[in-house]
Structure 1
Amino acid sequence: MNYPALSLRALAGVTGITSAVAAYPVASDLFGTIPGGVVLASSAAAIYAGWHVVATSSDTDKRVIASAVAGVFAVAMVAGIHNSAQLATATAATTAATEADRLYQEQETARMAALSAMTAELRATQKSKYPGEYAALQKQVDRLSTPTVRQATASQITQGLTDTGGVYRWAVSSVFELVTPALLLLAGMFSRRNPTATATATPQPFEVEEVEETATAPQPEAAVTATPTTTAPQPIDLLAEHAIAPNGEGNVTAAAIVAATGCTDWQAKDAMKKAAEQGILTKTGTGGATRYRYANKLRAVK
């Protein structure tokens, strides 16, 4: 079992879930609690599956389609994370501003009540008889007549918070959507470096026949010991011997090697690369247009 690849895929699943949780507030606000969760879970699954196909499939068409689907959902997820952060900021600012409005109203109510009481007492005080007390009351009335400094309202504080924000906010929002494909691509690399697990899991026909014959007709110990062990031919050896027949265009293909040896597609392609390095095959083209032919064409025809 390839534990490094499994560990990387599990970690990629954790990052995918984390990004979905981060984008949940805006999804819940748009679609509702349960529908928003379903939308995010489906998006996270599509992103994970798409990058997994890109990392493990050898079919170019499938990889292109999977990367396009994963990319679309990843962009939507990044936008959801960014907008969720903006929504949280706006909600916190609105709560704070609303509390400031309440405190301001309480202060104003208390000021007006104190001003009314001081004004009534000032009117009842004779300036000629009590000049000192009258002057003190007049100062208090003047002070209470000045309104309290108005704090910023909820609309003023939250104004502009729905803007797109700086580039750094988008960069932070996209962190998980960059980490997830990176982890899955690394997991795919580890899987390709350990192809023995796949090859071992694929039973060969002659092995099944040997087990059946042993079960039905057990042989004496000496006879079993004398039976030679059959080993699967190595792709590089068959290429060196020109034992792999070219196709109608004269090209040696990975499919022909797989059919002749029972190896994996990855092992067949690796054998062709090594054969080209050793001069057994000649390579032309790049990418999907790469073709291999025997270096000795006359021998290949024979």
Structure 2
Amino acid sequence: MDTTLRVGIVGAGGIAPPHIEGWLALGAEIGILRRTGADDLAARYGIRVVDDLGDLIDASDVIDIVSPTATHVSVAREAFVRGRHVVCEKPLAVTAAEAQEMADAAVAAGVRLFPAHVVRYFEGYRRLYEQREAVGTMAELTFRRTVAAPASAWFYSQDAGGGLIRDLMIHDLDQALWLAGPVVEVSATQDPPAVDDTVQPPVSAHVTLWHANGAVSHVRGDWAGSEVPFHSEVQIVGDRGTLSVDTSELAGEGSPASAPGNDPYRAQLADFVEAIRTGAPARVTPEDGVAAVAVVDAAYASLASGHPVVLAQL
């Protein structure tokens, strides 16, 4: 009996290659929906192109959504209706309500939804999480993430699912939730602000999170010029000490493509496959994905009002 996992990729942008490479390393058979760039990826990786979404879903065991954020809900809905598991790039959806809709639909269909918050699978960040109790009672967490601004126009439209906070900073907002737990209040600033819904790089944003346990997280993100290298760091301060991670000090973790044998994308997908096989939770759950988008919602509400926003607990 053939037990090869069949994966359907929806999306052919910059995040597609690490997903494809991760699936191939796990021995999966891959099809990709025909979109701009799909033929090039098919030639590069030796995968097949499928013209129709329904046909791709029917021919797959897992659908991996790496398309623009505003498309996530509709693609996932089609996959769930056909009884297929879904891996979905962060953020799950444009709003927390839509993200919750996805999570509920997966449960109703009896299948799994895996938010692809890949930073949880970077070794340095995983070790930080495992060692977090060494700092004692957490007081302050500081996150910084800088990348070259993306090329595709949709990233710069906040209403269309883009935006610096939603697309880039959600990595560290998720880390703050993972490390310090639920958030009760959110405040955000952005310089320069969006004009007519459009973000103009270079742009920086700062989000402050007040956690239910009393800790405070300061999260900064930057979309910079094309010459600026990727960099991220985090520091946790508690009453018994300090822990930190700086990607510039981690071999293989200083860019989205890690060193061979230490690939966070492969580790993430392997965790999802094992969760499907065993029925156990993955390192990141649908609830985690929804919670991260809820913090993003609150951050944008704070930008709009100029005041901190109390986060409704889901």
Q: TM-score range by the shorter chain?
A: under 0.3
TM norm structure 2: 0.23
In terms of Rg, which structure is larger?
1
TM norm structure 1: 0.24
Query: In proportion to residue count, which structure has more strand?
Result: 2
